[in-house]
Amino acid sequence: MHGQVEFDTVPDMRLAAIDCGTNTAMLLVVDVDPSDGKLVPVADHLEMPRLGQDLDRTHRLHPDAIRRTLEAIDRQIARAASLSVDELVLVGTESLRAAQNSDELLSALAERGVTMRIVSGDDEARLAFLSVARSLPLPPGVVRSVLDIGGGSTELIVGQEHPEVWASVKIGSVRLHERFLSHDPPTEKERHRLVEAIDAALAHLPKPEGELVALAGTATTIGAIHLGLTQYDGKLVDGLRMPTSRVREIVSALGVRSVAERTHMAGLDARRADVIYAGAMILLRVAERAGVTDVVLSDRGVRFGMLEELSARKNGPSAHGQR
Domains and CATH numbers, the chain: 13-120 (3.30.420.40), 122-298 (3.30.420.150)
Amino acid at 219: A
Amino acid at 133: A
Residues near 148 by beta carbon (within 8 Å), at least 6 away in sequence: 124, 125, 128, 154, 155, 156, 157, 214, 215, 216, 301, 302
pLDDT tens-place string over residues 33-47? 887 778 889 999 999
pLDDT tens-place string over residues 245-280? 999 999 999 999 999 999 999 999 998 999 999 999
Q: Determine the pLDDT at residue 149.
A: 94
Q: Of the candidates 158, 201, 156, which has an alpha carbon nearest to the alpha carbon of residue 176?
A: 201
| Spatial distance between the Cα atoms of 180 and 8, rounded to a whole number of angstroms | 53
User: pTM of the full predicted structure?
Assistant: 0.85
**Mean pLDDT for the chain?**
90
Q: What is the mean pLDDT of residues 48-61?
A: 92
Q: Of the candidates 257, 253, 255, 286, which has an alpha carbon nearest to the alpha carbon of residue 190?
A: 255
Q: What is the mean pLDDT of residues 141-163?
A: 91
| Spatial distance between the Cα atoms of 14 and 86, rounded to a whole number of angstroms | 5
**CB distance 149 to 218 below 8 Å:** yes
Q: Determine the pLDDT at residue 138.
A: 85
